[in-house]
Amino acid sequence: MTTTTPEHFLNRELSLLAFNERVLAQAEDPGVPLLERLKFICIVSSNLDEFFEVRVAELKEHIALDSSSVSADGLSARQTFRDVAPRAHVLVEKQYETLNQAILPQLAEQGIRFLRRTYWNEEQAAWIRAYFFRELMPVLTPIGLDPAHPFPRVLNKSLNFAVELSGRDAFGRNSGAAVVQAPRSLPRVIRMPEEIAGCEYGFVFLSSILHAHVGELFAGMTVQGCYQFRVTRNSDLFVDEEETKNLREALQGELPHRHYGNAVRLEVADNCSPEMADFLLAQFNLGREDFYQVNGLVNLVRLMQIPDQVDRPDLKFPLFIPGLPSQLTKPGDVFRAVRRGDILLHHPFQSFQPVIDFIRQAADDPQVLAIRQTVYRTGTDSMLMQALIAAAQSGKEVTVVVELMARFDEEANINWAARLEEAGAHVVYGVVAHKTHAKMALVVRREGTKLCRYAHLGTGNYHARTARLYTDFGLLTCNEDICADVNEIFTQLTGLGKASRLKHLWQSPFTLHNQVIAAIRREAEHARNGLRATIIAKMNALLEPEVIRALYEASQAGVKIELIVRGVCALKPGMPGLSENIRVRSVIGRFLEHTRIFYFRDNGAERVYLSSADWMDRNFFRRIEACFPVLEPRLKKRVIAEGLKPYLKDNQQAWEMDHQGTYRRRIRRRARPYGAQQALLELLAKPVA
């Protein structure tokens, strides 16, 4: 194995910030429709929320423990945080600058305006005042700060206002400060009637309404200042799975604490006084490096609702109708279609409906005896879960492996688990200390005198909404060996016993890591023997050090390696003598790239695998993952032609990384413009007339 040093690895947290810089570039791109640019601004905010709630929170925990551990890049948690903080501040400043100087002015030119209180005319001010007294005032609870009213517990990411006051109240008190918490039940952006707004789409922020009328909450006192603020907290849940007898009950008890974890970031409006800023930082035990003073809303995620309220198709991505594979173009029996040959689905360019139909037909079919499925993220109104409930109620053997610890989806999964159990389904929660991340469904059907099995395997979640937004592959098959492998994994998850050897699937935590390493080394051996050797891998993240070392070794042997890594990548490409045969690119576009595809030329055999797993430590060693081969030659060609080649050809949405970890947009000015996602839409989907 190649000897590596910390200089051969990139930092995970800095790489994650670099990904969000690429997302922000979509908001800056004038070629992206205007309302979609606003969405990208919101996506950056949402991503940063999770970054602070999880990644920065973990760094701070290590710092508090004075941990001496270092990551593969050689940095301690303290050193990483020291590098992360200034870069995060620059990213946030650039985000607000893009919003205020480019997107909002251009929206105003299109008749979509956010009416600031300093510019309200009399009619607008009267409408807003009436709204305040009708909708807002009755549900506000101002909290004066004095010995009888200590600083309130502020929920994670909630909108709050710090108010500076002078004068005395009815009891003679004058603490000089109060806190007003915005009701979570009210919208943060309110649309004003067109005849009052003076434009087709006029919006006013809840924060502006409260700011304008906050004095109504403190009769007889003078408001010296009113400042929005928002605190982000550590959102990791701690449940000792080995000591807990009922994981679901333990998790239900732990969920409320997520709102009150240790603070990791404070955001305030730009008008906040230095004295109030210092006061708030002290309340949350935060330092200046945790302080983000922003020019606008402290929660830009709330603007995500605007495109849905604005009927301007010309300012959005064109609508499309997802296509269907030729075997499914006519309504009919999914099982009959699968018996004719494996079916490959490429979302969102092709419809997710066949997956729903697969489970629905299984639920309705009297010949189906049993259904098994994993659930990681599925949403709160899932048709798939409804079908499983119906199947259980009809007396079928329904087994669902629900991952309760799917971060930020715990509550939805707990609710589905309870409903499934009430319907008579067998619900299990996987394996202690290993998240069930594999995407699998298995149907057992009586056909004549024998029982036949059908399986669906995917790279993405069983979530109909995200299947319209994320790129993923799914495979419907009745291949006996693959179905037997899927059945074996389900048996591991629901029962006890040693893991059997699988015929085709690579599985975490048992064989996936070793098989990936072996495939990389086999390719290196081909190169040493003078054979043409190629590895192409597409994934969300690449972090696992041993895999990176194997890729470095393969590069040194002469293997041509193309890596399409959407987000975090710790590997450094193009380093002389180490990785000059490796290219790393990231494609950021309309859809979130989510497919995991592993291609090994293997002396012309062209082995192609699809997987639920990224090449990360957690996916290899702490999760149940499935990696499955595409065996049918025609489908293998499709995966290569649709999942890999377009992304290597992309010269519009692709970014290439250099050996220092810096990404540059891969735009070829003289070449014919080619975007992978647009090309796949044109190939597989239909435009809405």
φ and ψ of 400, to 5 deg: -125, 125
> How many whole angstroms separate alpha carbon 631 and alpha carbon 505?
11
Q: What is the number of H-type helices and E-type strands within the chain? A: 22, 29
Residues 156 and 150: beta-carbon distance below 8 Å = no
Question: One-letter amino acid identity for 121?
Answer: N
**Alpha-carbon span 483 to 457, nearest angstrom:** 10
Give the amino acid at 311. D
Distance CA 29, CA 26 (A): 5
Instruction: Give the integer Cα–Cα distance in Å for 634 and 342.
Output: 10
SS3 content of the chain, % helix, strand, coil (to 5): 40, 25, 35
- Phi (first) and psi of residue 220, to 5 degrees: 80, -5
Q: Which of 271, 237, 272 is nearest to 253 (CA)?
A: 237
Phi/psi at 267 (nearest 5 deg)?
A: -110, 135
HEC readout, 266-331: EEEECCCCHHHHHHHHHHCCCCHHHEEEECCCCCHHHHHHHHHHCCCHHHCCCCEECECCHHHCCC
* Binding site residue list for ATP: 47, 470, 566, 594
Selection from 428, 179, 169 nearest residue 284 by Cα = 179
Going by C-alpha positions, the residue among 341, 177, 157, 131 that lies closest to residue 260 is: 157
Annotated catalytic residue: which of 346, 437, 463, 513? 437
Cβ density class 142-166: b for 16+ within 10 Å, e for less: bbbbeeeeeeeebbbbebbbbbbbe
- One-letter amino acid for residue 72 of the chain: A
Residue whose structure tokens are 């959102």: 235
- The verdict on whether 426 is a catalytic residue reads no
Give the residue numbers of the binding site: 47, 377, 407, 470, 566, 594
Strand 222-233, strand 160-166: pairing = antiparallel
Which residues participate in the annotated binding site for Mg(2+)?
A: 377, 407
- Other C-beta atoms lying within 10 Å of the C-beta of residue 515: 16
Run of H or E residues at 106:
helix 104-109
Instruction: Read off φ and ψ for residue 510, nearest 5 degrees.
Output: -95, -55
**Residues known to be catalytic:** 437
